[in-house]
Structure formats: structure tokens, C-alpha cells
Amino acid sequence: MQETRRQRRVHKGRLNWFSVLLLLIIIYFSSIFISQQTHLHQLAEDQVAAEARLASAKAENEQLRQEKENLGKLDYIEKLAREELGMTRRDELPYSAGGSAVK
């Protein structure tokens, strides 16, 4: 009868070490999993920001492409000269509708 008690005590001791070892392994893999999830979340945020920058750059590129195309048209050049430089044709008089006069 004493031998069975000793065997149970030894068996309980082994079970305790096994439980502790199993718990440590679970904690280790859980920490790795959490770390990876955090890293993946950061990568997803970076990807969203990069896609937003890409969309902005594409829009700017399209705008510049359109302006380059328009610079070959005389009507557009004339419009820019009138609006930005205040130029007029030979027989026209400049008209200012506000506080600043075109020189």
C-alpha cells in the first residue's frame, strides 16, 4: 500500500512538471502569435497609407498629363495668358472688376 502511495506521489510530481512545461509552451506560442498579429496589423496600416499616396500620385500625374496635352492647344495658351498674365489682344482694353488692377 505504501508503494502505491509513493507511485502516486511520483506520478503527481511528474504531472506537475508536465503541466508547468505545457503552460510555458502555451505562453511562448501565445506571445509569438500576439507579436505576429501586431506586426501584421502595422503592415496593413502601412499598406493603406501607401495605397492612399499612390492614388494621390496617380491623380496628380493625370492632372499633369492633361495640362501637358492642353499646352499644345492655342486656346488653352491664350486662356492662361489672359488669366494669369493679364495679357490682351491688340484691339482690346484690359478690364479689372475689383481691387487689384492689371499692370
pLDDT tens per residue, range 39-61 = 999 999 999 999 999 999 999 99
Range of the domain at 21: 2-85
In a domain, 101, yes or no: no
Instruction: Report yes or no on 42 lying in a domain.
Output: yes
Assigned domain for 100 exists: no
The dihedral through the CA atoms of 96, 64, 52, 39 has a sign that is negative
Higher per-residue confidence, 22 vs 2: 22
For residue 39, tell me if it sits in a domain: yes
Q: Are 87 and 93 in contact (CB under 8 A)?
A: no
Q: Is 93 a domain residue?
A: no
Q: Tell whether 31 is covered by a domain.
A: yes
pTM over cut 0.85 = no
Grid coordinates in use for 37? 498579429
**The total number of structural domains that make up the chain:** 1
Span 54-74, mean pLDDT? 94
Minimum mean pLDDT among 1-10, 43-52, 59-68, 94-103: which range?
A: 1-10
d(CA 85, CA 49): 39
Q: Is residue 50 part of a domain?
A: yes
| Domain presence at residue 37 | yes
